A and B are shown apart, each in its own frame.
Chain A
Amino acid sequence: EVQLLQSGGGLLQPGGSLRLSCATSGFPFNAYTIHWVRQAPGKGLEWVSTIGPQNYYEIYYADSVKGRFTISRDNSKNTVFLQMSSLRADDTAVYYCAKDHGHYDKDVWGQGTTVTVS
């Protein structure tokens, strides 16, 4: 069974830093792109960042987080990370990691982790 297990959320002050983790299992991790998507309280989904698979190492960010967030992956641990810095109140959201289906989409999602900046 494909699973994405997230950790690392929390409450922090503006300007702070936090690292989110997305540990995966049940599929060949090295072969798949992983995304981060967030959802502010009561709001819609917002794409945050994407990292390509091992041999196609591409990284992309939404303008809203570019220069502040860094996505990375550890293929030895089947885990993707989102390092967030210079956090602002409008970064407050539930953050989801999601596996790409191979068709520029997101077919399996993590359970979400809450980040509150206040």
Chain B
Amino acid sequence: QSALTQPPSASGSPGQSVAISCSGTSSDIGRSNYVSWYQQHPGKAPKLIIYEVTERPSGVPDRFSASKSGNTASLTVSGLQAEDEADYYCCAHTGSTNTYVFGTGTKVTVL
């Protein structure tokens, strides 16, 4: 159950886009249709922003989008806003063992 690999940090100016990668293996991301993404502000509980690789829960702005290719998932935040400054985590469900693995987390800074 090794953590998925994310870049430690990413940044962009207001209005710009930032992309965050989440690298795994053929045992987790590569074979999972259940990759989710979470946003966490300091001192707060995480918030679900993407589920099932590309789907957005009700109430999450369409500025947040995601995809998957092979063993890597990606989250893109378009039209960056100040409130997007937070930590972001990916998470994959591994069906063979019914376990979950989170990414190492990426701190997004809005310049």
Contact = CB atoms under 8 A, between A and B. Distances in A.
A47 B45 contact: no
Contact of A112 (B45, B47, B89, B93): B45
Interface residue tally of chain B, by bracket?
20 to 34
Contact of A45 (B34, B97, B105): B105
A44 interface: yes
A44 to B, nearest CB: 4
Interface residues of A, number: 24
Contacts, number: 69
Interface of B: 1, 3, 34, 36, 38, 40, 45-48, 51-52, 55, 57, 87, 89, 91, 93, 97-105
24 contacts: A37-B46, A37-B102, A44-B87, A44-B102, A45-B38, A45-B89, A45-B91, A47-B99, A47-B102, A50-B100, A62-B1, A62-B99, A63-B1, A64-B1, A101-B51, A104-B93, A104-B100, A105-B36, A105-B52, A106-B36, A106-B38, A106-B46, A107-B51, A109-B45
